Amino acid sequence: MLRSRSAARWFALAGMLLAFAGVLDNALQPGRDNRWSTLMYFTNWTNLLAGVVFGLHLLRLRRPAPDGSQPADARLARVTMYVTASGVLVTVAYWALLAPIATTSLWTFRNLATHLVTPLLLAVFYFARVRPGAQRGRDVGLALVLPLAYLGAVYLGYAGGFVYSVDDYGVEERFPYFFLDHVELGVPMALVYMAGIAVGVAAVAWGLVAIDRRRASRDGSQVGASA
């Protein structure tokens, strides 16, 4: 699967369009009080970045490749891993924590695109097209830059008075997710949830690095055996 550059290009194009379409549909959904609040959800951060990553791969796949494979270079491979790690966490966290208490349908385009299909497509692309051996141990820590930057943006927004929505009783929603609301949960419990996000991303990133090293070792052994 995706061995040919043509198939990979079409896959990357589909992933890019789906990622952007899911975020746009989220922004345009009826009843959203603040369109800008779309940009303050980690799901949409990861989907926008997934779209950018797919786009970068698509541009790279347009270049001539002597061997026909055109794998990503090391820097793009690492960035792809960082976004993939956050995307996997988004999918797991959503379906484990948020889907069970959702008050709207789970089977909408925007929901499936952003919380399931786009992260899955990026993971498939990562394993199918990124050459093993690019990841380093420090990439586990670097994968935390995205979620930590997001948490910083959320609390800067809170400090600046950002309002996500206003309910029927006039109560302002000041946080994108209940588990970040230190006012309702208390600071200790909010910190526990934030630590869980960091640990979750680090765990996924560690797993991706471990798999990358194993694949690189296996491919190296195969090359040595065939030499």
Residue showing tokens 């270079």: 73
What are the residue boundaries of the structural domains of the chain, listed by start? 5-219
Which among 181, 191, 189 has a CA at the least distance from the CA of 157? 181
Mean pLDDT of 195-223: 86
Evaluate if residue 4 carries a pLDDT over 90: no
pLDDT for 131-169, tens place per residue?
Answer: 888 898 999 999 999 999 999 999 999 999 888 877 777
Query: What contacts 47, CB < 8 A, 6 or more positions away?
Result: 19, 20, 22, 23, 87, 113, 114, 118, 119
